[in-house]
Amino acid sequence: MTRTSASASVEVDLDPHTAFKVFTQEIDLWWVRGPINFHDASRLAELRMEPGVGGRILEIYDESSGDMLETARITVWEPGIRLILRGTVQDTETDIRFEATDHGTRVKVEQYLLPGGDPSTIGFGWVHMLGTFVAWCRRRGSASRTPREQGRLGIVLSYEDPPAAARWLRTVFQLGSWDVDSPPEEGASPSWIEFHVGDGIVILSPLENAPSKDLPVTHMTRVYVDDLDAHFAHAKANGATIVRGIHLHGERTYIAEDLEGHRWVFAQARPTMH
């Protein structure tokens, strides 16, 4: 029987026990706080993995009130060897293995749909975020122990060939860090490419995904605001053309046009964003 799954592997310059410790204890430092990297990115205050079998992976929104979301539970905990996570929001299981190599540790991740699981819930976040783990391992010796926050202004750029555009922007303009995604390889066709310029965020998407039926939209500016509902009501009452109302997909956003038809994405800022 065919299994719905995704997998990836990376090598880091750490021994297996240290790699396991970094993966589990420092998850809030390497799991980048991007727009779609959480179930509710706009409210996130902390991402936490509790140690041991039965430990939870938690998106913490307000710990004092107990406002948090359990996204997975640990079923196998073998430090330096193996970690298995059973999804509680998605019908997936994630198998993470740590294998010693001549130069450090190979970390292998496979995430798959559970038998009888609902395919509409599936996402392969643990596989996609493995690149950010590598980036953190490279710089953790000199990096701050405060989670990196993106700024409140970002840009969405639409291209016919986003991977080629990303490689060009990186090579020619020396634009961005790849803490979020590894530079796309030839033949790759990711639906979402995200990288950072300072504390700003740049998102590349296919031209056909631009939210326009009448005119080509090649870019959108993204702004994070304190109160998205109030901002939406004010914009609508004052004549903004609403292209898409408030929508939750990792974070809460809406899209509006200004007086000359330029499109803006407004998103709910997290409590931790300056």
Q: Decide which of 170 and 265 is more confident.
A: 265
Q: What is the mean pLDDT of the chain?
A: 88
Give the pLDDT of residue 233: 94
Give the pLDDT of residue 95: 98
Is pLDDT at 51 greater than 80 in this prediction?
yes
Average pLDDT score over residue span 82-102: 96
- Rounded Cα distance between 260 and 48, Å, is 44
Q: Which of 228, 172, 205 is nearest to 41 (CA)?
A: 228
- Rounded Cα distance between 133 and 19, Å, is 10
Q: Cα angle vertex 188, ends 185, 190, to 5°?
A: 115
Give the pLDDT of residue 1: 45
Is pLDDT at 11 greater than 50 in this prediction?
yes
Average pLDDT score over residue span 246-260: 88
Domains of the chain: 5-139 (3.30.530.20), 153-268 (3.10.180.10)
Tokens of 50: 């509790």
**Which tens digits make up the pLDDT trace of 213-226?**
565 667 888 889 99
- The 3-state DSSP class for residue 2 equals coil
Average pLDDT score over residue span 13-28: 98
Give the pLDDT of residue 183: 64
- Rounded Cα distance between 32 and 186, Å, is 24
Please state the pTM of the whole predicted model. Answer: 0.80
Give the pLDDT of residue 211: 59
- Rounded Cα distance between 128 and 255, Å, is 26
Is pLDDT at 229 greater than 50 in this prediction?
yes
Give the pLDDT of residue 30: 94
